[in-house]
Structure 1
Amino acid sequence: MPWNWKQDGWPHFTYDAAALEVLERRFLVSSGEMIGAVRHVGAGDRELLRIELITDEAVKTSEIEGEMLDRLSVQSSLRRQLGLDAEARAVRPQERGIAEMMIDVYESWNAPLDHDTFFRWHRMLMAGNTHIGTVGAYRTHDDAMQIVSGRHDRLVVHFEAPPSRDVPGQMDAFIAWFGRSAPDGTASLPALTRAGIGHLYFESIHPFEDGNGRIGRALVEKSLAQNLERPSLLALAYTIERNRKAYYEYLERNQRTLDITGWLVYFAETLIEAQRTTLARVSFFIEKARFYDCFRSQFNERQEKAVARMFRAGPEGFKGGLSAENYIAITRTSRATATRDLQDLTAKGAFLRTGERRHTRYTLNLTPFQNEGNGSA
């Protein structure tokens, strides 16, 4: 079967809209729940929540491509971009670049999509990059743009994109489609359908030498934000990264056909899962704020450091629970002091204890702060 862009009818995809109706409705209902949850975050904390969510997505979207970034450096760069106080720490060009791109996506969601948008994102994303020849413009090399795996002498070609000479015309058509499919366009599409088609369509053109995956996921955020009339801040990269194999398998399978119902159902379900993950992170942020309000000034410096480290682990928690050895490593204290500190945290109700002796583990006790009233922002 030839690649999708070589088939008659490209780029007119076909799909069963009825297969997506329930998913589209579920997404809109969950979007309402998200808006309601954010309203429970105090006005002063909303910027902090936004930074937390954008940081998570920036780090994960890079991790999918095999690039490991320092989370605190990305967060520091985001704070600077937003004009907030940031600690003085070294920030590598790629960390600054992904932060700039994520903020640009967030703040310009309602602006029309054009070539300059893509070029701007690419320049930001490729900051400090020296291994590609063209930055801030579409690829121009004569070599085939292929997605491959395996040893150099036994390569498996998963996809081959249109030749570079065709990219400007392909991107003209893509940008025109994106405008037509917008909520105020002449052929508007529901949120999940538009985001799913847009992502597959863009990745099939693969217009840049590098960065196509990260830009393609940024494009999903822009698409959803336009349909929802506000940034979605979905944990898409986090959700994809947890099952990267399925993501690439669906992409590869659907880059050989123009009937993409299977892809759209998969991607819609992925977006809904990302929505649930984001909602859980918003709830965790609220619980964290309530936790600190409850225990304000009750911890010593060592305990503060350990608690902060556990919160950085996110909703999934500190892997395996916190042990006395973990506490000693984090706080650089003695075993006797660690024992007293942990007993104190448990007695105060900040930690929950499970197990005995060397199997003793501690977790944050967030139960009292879950669904605690409705509050108002």
Structure 2
Amino acid sequence: MRWNWQQDDWPNFLWDAAALRQAEDVFLHGSGVIVGILHHVDAEERQALAIELMSQEVVNSSAIEGEILDRASVQSSLAKQLGLATDRRKANAAEAGAAELMADLYRGYHESLSDALLFGWHTMLMNGRRDLTDVGRYRTHADPMQIVSGPLHAPRVHFEAPPSAIVPAEMARFIGWFNETAPDGSSPLPGITRAGIAHLWFETIHPFEDGNGRLGRAIAEKALAQSLKAPTLTALAETIHRHRKDYYAALHRASQDNRIDDWLTWFADIVTAAQARTTARARFLIEKTRMLDRLRDRLNPRQEKALLRMFAEGVDGFAGGLSAHNYRTITDAAPATATRDLAALVEMGALVRSGELRYARYRLALPD
């Protein structure tokens, strides 16, 4: 098989711009909706939402690669990086490094792409790693850079990247294109189109010894943010993680041809779905604020603790709803006390109950 980078037309990607126009319009409109929503919350709540979204992105981008990070530790590290109040929770090297990268992306989304920026990101992401030869620089090993699966005696090669010797030249061409196609560049491209091409192109080169997937998604986020001239806070990695198998399949198909309509269509669907999830989270924050303001001085400490715990689960809530047993676990309430507390929360309009007796389940009384 000849991979896309081995073909004569590399990297002259071809796509139908008209097919992406609707998705581009949806993305631009959705960004305006989010800005409008956030006008209804104060600066502290906007910061809380930003930290929540960024930490979820960090955790999910690592999870796509099979690395599990603690979200609370990542949140604490992000708050520290952004100069906000923190619980001083101790993060491990991987959590601290990934948080530093995300904070740098959030603050410096407008900066041009460069070798130095990417080397800095790689150093942050590989924080604490002692098993790599090349940290903070492009790979130099002579062995082929391959994505494989299966047993060692019979591996299946899903992709082979360009050899290390030509990576600097390939990256120079990629970085030049990325900066030229920025909104203020000489050949600007729409946001989703540019982000999708950038992600595919970077993943094809696979320039680093490790961390290419996470860095490639950060580059896509940078492209989206630059198109809006503001940090996007788009739940891109979270949404990709929900479609992880399809993501790898789409990248694999795109690695075989430089006609990339299918890849860009798939990527556009992911971006618009990610933005919709961000919108839902922003609305969720507003409804949380409204409910807690409305119920101020009416909740006992147990009820308040339970509601905050439910809000902490986010827009998806408890799987199957909150049970009386869950409530007792959260609050240490006796069974009779839990029953009275839950009934009062329903009466106050904080919770909605479904089912009866031991099958009763409770959900936050929020608009759909």
Pair in the same fold by TM > 0.5: yes
Question: Secondary structure, in 3 states, of the residue corresponding to 2:32?
Answer: helix
Which runs of 5 or more structure 2 residues have no equivalent in the other structure? none
Q: CA deviation at 1:129?
A: 1.9
Which runs of 5 or more structure 1 residues have no equivalent in the other structure? 371-377
Match of 1:187 in 2: 187
Aligned positions of 1:84-95 closer than 5 A: 84-95=84-95
Question: Secondary structure, in 3 states, of the residue corresponding to 1:69?
Answer: coil
Question: Secondary structure, in 3 states, of the residue corresponding to 1:173?
Answer: helix
Q: Distance in 2 between matches of 1:9 and 1:352?
A: 59
Q: CA deviation at 1:199?
A: 0.4
Match of 1:374 in 2: none
With normalisation by structure 2, the TM-score equals: 0.97
For 1:300-346, what per-residue CA distance to the aligned partner results, in whole angstroms no more than 9, with x for missing partners? 33222221221111111111001111112222333222222222222
For 1:280-307, what per-residue CA distance to the aligned partner results, in whole angstroms no more than 9, with x for missing partners? 1111111111111111233233222221
The one-letter code matched in structure 2 to 1:49 is L
Structure 1 position 54 matched with structure 2 position 50: no
Distance 1:350 1:28, change over 3 A: same
The one-letter code matched in structure 2 to 1:116 is A
Structure 1 stretches of 4+ with a deviation exceeding 4 A read: none
Q: CA deviation at 1:2?
A: 0.7
The one-letter code matched in structure 2 to 1:16 is D
Structure 1 position 144 matched with structure 2 position 144: yes
Q: Distance in 2 between matches of 1:132 and 1:289?
A: 46
Question: Secondary structure, in 3 states, of the residue corresponding to 1:276?
Answer: helix
Match of 1:375 in 2: none
Structure 1 position 314 matched with structure 2 position 317: no
Match of 1:203 in 2: 203
Aligned positions of 1:1-377 closer than 5 A: 1-367=1-367
Q: Distance in 2 between matches of 1:147 and 1:184?
A: 35
Q: Distance in 2 between matches of 1:106 and 1:353?
A: 40
Q: Distance in 2 between matches of 1:358 and 1:224?
A: 48
With normalisation by structure 1, the TM-score equals: 0.94
* Aligned residues between the structures: 368
Q: Distance in 1 between matches of 2:104 and 2:244?
A: 26
When structure 1 is superposed on structure 2, of 322-331 and 117-126 the one drifting more is 322-331
CA RMSD of aligned residues (A): 1.4
Q: Percent identity?
A: 53
Question: Secondary structure, in 3 states, of the residue corresponding to 1:157?
Answer: strand
Q: Distance in 2 between matches of 1:336 and 1:29?
A: 50
For 1:241-275, what per-residue CA distance to the aligned partner results, in whole angstroms no more than 9, with x for missing partners? 11111111110001010110111111111111111
Question: Secondary structure, in 3 states, of the residue corresponding to 1:13?
Answer: coil
